[in-house]
């Protein structure tokens, strides 16, 4: 399947393929057993360090009572080390070291960087990947060789010239000030006049810059998530 997509992208080399995959976790992995035993819990991986025979990840989980989940993780045979980094109410942050990096091997072989954060739920992991079409094809081959089941949610072309921040520095400053002040909250926590005052500019100037920023964000969103999407 990835070979077809690679061929389709040949005429568009200035466009970067961005793919979203849902990968079924092999049953031999600790995270498969734990996530299926607690299907209502989302395991959010905020960082990961893969190796040839070990993988270390920082994982956040939210559950009414995370203690039994932590105990269940610690009992897994492929867990070398488990450290509780932080816990507050129903949220826990932990660092896990596992001796079975099976799922990460295909990514390493294909040379596809792992983007974080990503989520694991009920025996499946969802990844968003930005790489070349050739590397996506190699990744698909590596999954197939190891019998790892996966589903392509989408592959779309991202214009490399538009991949950076769509806002100017000034637009970003004004937009961030408005956002942090609560201008976009529902109900609104700050008026346009208050945002302008915080920036030391007139209300009309603030309105003009915000309008331009909002227009740039809207066009970027349309290009990223609406107009250029290629579904499989």
For 66-88, how does the pLDDT look when each residue is reduced to its tens digit (9 = 90+)?
A: 999 999 999 999 999 999 999 88
Q: What is the pLDDT of residue 70?
A: 94
Q: What is the pLDDT of residue 31?
A: 95
Q: Residue 61 corresponds to which tokens in the numbers above?
A: 């989980």
The domains of the chain are located at 2-162, 169-230
Specify the DSSP class assigned to residue 224: I
pLDDT band, residue 62 (cuts 50/70/90): confident
Lowest average pLDDT, out of 38-42, 89-93, 197-201, 221-225, goes to 221-225
The whole-number average pLDDT for the span 3-13 is 45
- Within 8 A by CB and 6+ apart from 40, the residues are 63
pLDDT (tens digit, 9 = 90+) per residue, 113-152?
988 889 999 999 999 898 888 888 899 999 999 899 999 8
The more confidently predicted of residues 185 and 7 is 185
Strand spans (E) along 25-149: 43-50, 55-62, 79-88, 91-98, 118-121, 124-130
Q: What angle do CA 11, 14, 20 make, to 5 degrees?
A: 90
pLDDT (tens digit, 9 = 90+) per residue, 100-113?
998 999 999 999 99
Q: Is the pLDDT of residue 229 over 60?
A: no
Q: What is the pLDDT of residue 5?
A: 45
The overall pTM is greater than 0.75: no
Q: Is the pLDDT of residue 194 over 70?
A: yes
**Computed from CA positions of residues 199, 204, 205, 208, in that sequence, does the dihedral angle turn out positive or negative?**
positive
Q: What is the pLDDT of residue 16?
A: 64
Angstrom distances, CA of residue 187 to CA of 191, 207, 217: 11, 19, 21
Q: What is the pLDDT of residue 11?
A: 43
Q: What is the pLDDT of residue 91?
A: 87
Q: Is the pLDDT of residue 37 over 80?
A: yes
Q: What is the pLDDT of residue 52?
A: 79
């Amino acid at each position: 399947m990835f070979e077809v997509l690679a061929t389709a992208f040949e005429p568009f080399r200035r466009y970067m393929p961005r793919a979203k995959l849902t990968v079924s976790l092999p049953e031999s992995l600790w995270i498969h057993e734990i996530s299926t035993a607690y299907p209502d819990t989302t395991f959010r991986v905020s960082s990961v360090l893969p190796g040839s025979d070990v993988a270390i990840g920082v994982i956040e989980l939210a559950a009414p009572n995370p203690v039994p989940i932590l105990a269940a993780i610690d009992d897994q045979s492929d867990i070398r080390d488990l450290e509780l980094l932080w816990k507050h109410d129903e949220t826990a942050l932990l660092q896990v070291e596992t001796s079975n990096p099976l799922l990460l091997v295909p990514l390493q072989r294909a040379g596809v960087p792992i983007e974080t954060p990503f989520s694991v739920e009920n025996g499946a992991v969802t990844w968003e990947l930005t790489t070349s079409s050739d590397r996506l094809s190699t990744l698909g081959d590596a999954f197939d060789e190891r019998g790892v089941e996966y589903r392509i949610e989408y592959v779309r072309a991202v214009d490399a010239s538009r991949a950076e921040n769509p806002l100017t520095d000034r637009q970003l400053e004004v937009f961030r000030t408005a956002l942090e002040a609560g201008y976009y909250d529902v109900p609104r926590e700050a008026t346009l006049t208050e945002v302008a005052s915080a920036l030391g500019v007139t209300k009309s100037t603030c309105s003009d810059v915000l309008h331009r920023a909002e227009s740039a964000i809207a066009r970027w969103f349309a290009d990223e998530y609406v107009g250029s999407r290629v579904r499989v």
